[in-house]
Amino acid sequence: MRFFAQIRSRSILAFAGAALPLCTLLSVAHAAEAPRLVQKDGRYALLVDGRPYLVLAGQIHNSSGWPSELPQVWQSMTALHANTVEAPVYWEQLEPQPGHFDFTNVDRILEGAAAHNLHVVLLWFGTWKNGNMHYVPDWVKTDTKRFPRVIRPDGEPIDVLSPLSQNTLAADKAAFTALMRHLKQIDGERHTVLAMQVENESGNVGSVRDNSPEANREFSGAVPADLLAAAHKKPGSWGEVFGAEADEIFQAYHQAKYINAIAAAGKSEFAIPCYINVWIHYPAAELPQRQIDTPGIGYPSGGAVQKLVGLWRALTPSLDMIGPDLYSDDSRFYRDTMQVYLRADNPLWIPETGREESFGKLFFYALGQGALAFSPFGVDQTDREGLGAAPWKWHANNYALIGPMDREIAELEFAGKLKTAVEEPGQTEVELNFDGWQATVAFGFPQNDGRHAPGTKDAHAVALVAQLGPDKFLVTGTDASVSFHLAGKQPWIRSQILSAEQGAYENGEWKPLRRLNGDETDRGLCFYQKPEVVQVSMGNF
């Protein structure tokens, strides 16, 4: 139990910093609650120990959830400045024989994470992993009668389990509920685990739908009433109701119901947030291996891809969110995809994204959209990958900047007070509008008098501005300057900086280091590549 003490003391210290005695009492009461989602004014927060939490995660490689790999995982998480590790739990390891459970891996993950002051998001690699079934136990793989496969139109079975099978559903559900029951026992009071991912990138690779006799029988009947209601359609056959998309929607329907049943059963044991991650639909050829734009080939068929997220949401009330795995660094596509998944019924949660430098600035777009979680994939340094000393420099820089004030940033996101500016090629200035004030963000240095800001060579600059009060702002960024002014006026007309304090949040309390003035404020507040944060108070006259 020793390993949990650090997580607990971190939370309580965080409260104590900001707190009156009454708040402390309330916070301690909240600390008994399991992590949960809350929604207010159309925005979401993940409450952990009673306060909004921003998940700054790194996901480890698929084969790194083993005790032998964990020492390097903890080193990598420290280097990334992550506050959360996303780690897989393998069905094949958890239940090597039917009904015999081995919790060694999951116990070691939780112990190690807590010892390193990290939270955990667990990924259930069960029936599906990347549109296949590669993590199911051998006793499932070898019993194709009891656990039937998806059948292609030509009659060939593939390495995907059919979601129409009640046997498979019962087996996955039993393993998942055993896992959740165990987590409740070891973590029910400690809250190391923030959320559970149910399956991984579910779907079929290799066939649009299951064409087994059972599936064909279902497909030749009428569309079920719950799907009609979810899709706002009138009764009819699958072809009549869904036309050319009937096969894909048939598959999505059965998958969504299957996953919802697993999530519901798991949450009845341990009610923490549950979500799915999605292998999204990329534009054809955006990724070289995705040149055929067909469900089952371009992306796993039946998953909650962009066009199906609304339908999936309606069919999966036991899921708390559906998150897109975002592996394209095309900034427009990234933002558009976030917009698709950020809905009144779905918070923005990015379970996986690229670890390369080009993804660094996209984190700031996600923060500006109110993301609850962000997680570059494959950030542990296994020997099998020739990763350099700092392969994810921008992610590490971002987390070093935002990590020390993760709770404050989560609160400001939830309150709708936070905006970000991100450099794009050719666009070296961005205007951010706040209640009563505007901030001009200019990218790249040097910013010479009378000249436009030069931008940076690879358009990586970012800034974050959050309104703390009517005339008070929290400001930070990388390779950018930020100048406040009144709408339609230059910064020096009728407005002035009253104070600009560089400082840092420590356990919830703002600790000023120094006051900035003169060259450090006359051309805006300037942020280079060192993690620096400023609180500025403005006045008008």
Best CA proximity match to 279, nearest among 343, 204, 229, 344 = 204
Site for ligand DGJ, residues 150 to 179, rule: CB under 6 A: none
Q: Which is nearer to ligand DGJ, 53 or 125 (CB)?
A: 125
172/352 with CB nearer ligand DGJ: 352
Give the C-alpha separation, 121 to 115, whole Å: 16
Residues in contact with ligand DGJ, shown as a per-residue x/- string from 277 to 316 under the rule CB under 6 A: ----------------------------------------
Pairing between β-strand 472-478 and β-strand 274-279 as defined by DSSP bridges:
unpaired
Footprint of ligand DGJ on residues 188-227 (CB under 6 A)?
A: 200-201
Q: Which residue has the tokens 């392969």?
A: 391
Report, in Å, the least distance between residue 90 CB and ligand DGJ. Answer: 12
* HEC letters along 417-455: CEEEEECECCECEEEEECCCCEEEEEECCCCCCCCCCCC
Which parts of 81-154 fold into alpha helices (H)?
Answer: 91-94, 104-115, 138-141
**Residue 352 lies near ligand DGJ (rule: CB under 6 A):** yes
User: What would the two tokens of residue 484 be?
Assistant: 């406040």
Task: Tell me the C-alpha distance between 78 and 295, whole Å.
Answer: 39
Q: Which residue, 62 or 306, has its beta carbon nearer to ligand DGJ?
A: 62
* C-beta of 205 vs 439, nearer to ligand DGJ: 205
Among 86, 199, 325, 406, binds ligand DGJ (CB under 6 A): 325
* Smallest distance from ligand DGJ to CB 327, Å: 7
Local structure of 136: helix, strand or coil? coil
Is residue 62 a contact point for ligand DGJ (CB under 6 A)?
yes
Closer residue to ligand DGJ in complex, CB, 24/358: 358
Q: How far is the CB of 59 from ligand DGJ (least distance, A)?
A: 7
**For 511, phi and psi rounded to 5 degrees?**
-120, 105
Rounded CA Rg of the chain: 25
Phi, psi of 389 (to 5 degrees): -65, -40
Alpha-carbon distances of 227 from 214, 223, 230, 314, rounded to whole Å: 19, 7, 5, 9
First vs last Cα of the chain: how many Å apart?
58
Residue 200 vs 207, nearer CB to ligand DGJ: 200
Q: How far is the CB of 130 from ligand DGJ (least distance, A)?
A: 5
**List of E strands, 138-287:** 149-151, 157-161, 193-200, 274-279
| Binding test (CB under 6 A) with ligand DGJ, winner from 15, 124, 238, 377 | 377
Least Å distance between CB 47 and ligand DGJ?
26
Q: Residue 350 and residue 346: Cα distance in Å, rounded?
A: 12
Does 86 help bind ligand DGJ (rule: CB under 6 A)? no
Least distance from C-beta 122 to ligand DGJ, angstroms? Answer: 13
Strand order, beta sheet including 429-433? 429-433, 438-443, 480-485, 525-527
CB of 117 to ligand DGJ, least distance (A): 25
Query: In angstroms, what is the minimal distance from the CB of 62 to ligand DGJ?
Result: 5
Q: Which residue is nearest to ligand DGJ (CB)?
A: 201
Judged by beta carbon, residue 200 or residue 337, the one nearer ligand DGJ is 200
Q: Looking at beta carbons only, is 24 or 62 nearer to ligand DGJ?
A: 62
User: Which residues 425-444 are close enough to bind ligand DGJ by CB under 6 A?
Assistant: none
> Would you say 132 or 440 has its CB closer to ligand DGJ?
132
Based on the shown chain and the rule CB under 6 A, indicate whether residue 380 belongs to the binding site for ligand DGJ: no
* 5 conformational bin, left if phi > 0, alpha if psi -120 to 50, beta if neither: alpha
Whether residue 337 contacts residue 329, with contact meaning beta carbons closer than 8 Å, is answered with no
> How far from the centroid of its chain's Cα atoms is residue 27's Cα?
25
Q: How far is the CB of 397 from ligand DGJ (least distance, A)?
A: 22
Handedness of CA 137, 350, 324, 412 (dihedral sign): positive
Residue type, position 478, single letter: T
Q: How far is the CB of 200 from ligand DGJ (least distance, A)?
A: 5
User: Which residue, 533, 539, 537, 530, is CA-closest to 514?
Assistant: 533
Per CB under 6 A, 318 contacts ligand DGJ: no
Least distance CB 406 / ligand DGJ (angstroms)? 24
- Count of positions on this chain that bind ligand DGJ (CB under 6 A): 7
Say if residues 121 and 57 touch (Cβ distance below 8 Å).
Answer: yes
Whichever of 176 and 377 has its CB closer to ligand DGJ, that residue is 377
- Cβ proximity to ligand DGJ: between 123 and 175 the closer is 123
**69 binds ligand DGJ, rule: CB under 6 A:** no
Using CB under 6 A as the binding rule, whether residue 130 contacts ligand DGJ is answered as yes
Nearer to ligand DGJ, 199 or 532 (CB): 199
The residue ranges that bind ligand DGJ (CB under 6 A) are: 62, 130, 200-201, 325, 352, 377
